[in-house]
Structure 1
Amino acid sequence: MAYLSTNPAKKERFLCIYPAYINNKKTIAEGRRIPSEKAVENPSCAEIRDVLTAAGMNVLFENDKFYPREWNRDVQFRGRVRVQIKNEDGSLYQDKFTSKKDIMLYVAEMIPKLKTRTQKSGGGDSAAQQGEGGKKGKKKKK
């Protein structure tokens, strides 16, 4: 993990990534910054941190921060990830990440491939389908 000092030059090289930026449940007005078809359903800071750490990026997890536009203060919506995109000399930390948008799109692409996501989605889909079927049946009976 990286240590973020009070040096302004260091802070400039670390970008803030909030989960709302890549959440497909959010509108652009609510803070989503990538197209909804590429975004992820309710990402967490821990997932963002895990993906960026696995990619070899220098990250800092701040779980005491809130996204200013987020009205819900629950634990799952708390936190942000700071990621270093440039070195001290101004060169890119990694060539494949040239901008904040590149990082957000990469994270949104990789989060669904995490083991926690693949295990959850298998059970969640069948439960959602059963619930929808029950609702449809009740509507027909009325």
Structure 2
Amino acid sequence: MAWAASSLPTDKSRFICIYPAYINNKKTIAEGRRIPLDKAIENPTSTEIQDVCVAVGLNVLLEKNKMYPREWNRDAQYRGRVRIQLKQEDGNPCQPQFPTRKAVMLYAAETIPKLKTRTQKMGGSDQSLQQGEGGKKGKGKKKK
């Protein structure tokens, strides 16, 4: 019965995993999206998922160097996964509003666009990014 000891919901290996691909509206279901397209958001990062989950009081663990297996792009922005403790030792949910992993994913997708980092990016700096693209670097080099 050695396996039963580590299968407690409080054990870190029993936390649920959420990859950014699960809530990314740029992905198809075949590429790993797990929530409806109209609820998904554009290119979430594991750090953003961690931020919104910590803010609501979930026990979160960020694994920066993990990759989603179906993710072909190896860029740093696509790396990372978030492990979240859903259940307490007695099997009850840690947070009543998050009984399932889907509830956590939908909450994250709903909340991330409201983050300060997101709202600032959408504001004035959007134009400056486009102007900067034609600078010294050149558009061809940026795609690497």
TM value normalised by structure 2: 0.80
Distance 1:128 1:89 in 2: 50
Query: Residue 119 in 1 paired to residue 113 in 2?
Result: no
- Does residue 43 (structure 1) correspond to residue 44 (structure 2)? The answer is yes
Q: Please state if 1:8 is matched with 2:4.
A: no
Runs of 4+ in 1 over 6 A off after TM superposition: 127-130
How far off is 1:91 after superposition? 0.8
Trace 1:59-74 onto structure 2 (pairs within 5 A).
Answer: 59-74=60-75
Q: How far apart are 1:123 and its partner, in Å?
A: 3.0
Question: Deviation at 1:80?
Answer: 0.2
Deviations 1:89-123 (A, max 9, x none): 11110100010110000000000000000000113
Distance 1:25 1:120, change over 3 A: same
Instruction: Let me know the Cα RMSD of the aligned residues.
Output: 2.1
Contact 2:64 2:79 in 1 (8 A): yes
Distance 1:21 1:124, change over 3 A: farther
1:90 and 2:91 aligned: yes
What is the percentage of aligned positions where both structures have the same residue? 65
| Maintained 8 Å contact 1:59/1:84 | yes
| Structure richer in helix, relative to its length | 1
**Matched letter for residue 27 of structure 2:** K
The aligned amino acid for 1:96 is: Q
Unmatched 5+ stretches in structure 1: 1-5, 131-142
Structure 2 stretches of 5 or more lacking a match? Answer: 132-144
Counterpart amino acid of residue 8 in structure 1: S
One-letter amino acid of the counterpart of residue 14, structure 1: F
**Once the 2 structures are TM-superposed, how far is the Cα of residue 36 of structure 1 from its aligned partner?**
1.1
Q: Greater strand share, 1 or 2? A: 1
- Structure 2 Cα separation of the partners of residues 76 and 126 of structure 1: 21
The number of residues matched between the two structures is: 125
The 2-side partners of 1:22 and 1:125 are apart by 23
Residue in structure 1 matched with residue 32 of structure 2 by the alignment: 31
1:79 counterpart residue number: 80
Q: Is the 8 A contact 1:13 1:87 kept in 2?
A: no
Paired residue secondary structure (2:66): strand
After TM superposition, give the deviation of residue 64 of structure 1 in Å: 1.2
Aligned residue for 2:65, secondary structure, equals strand
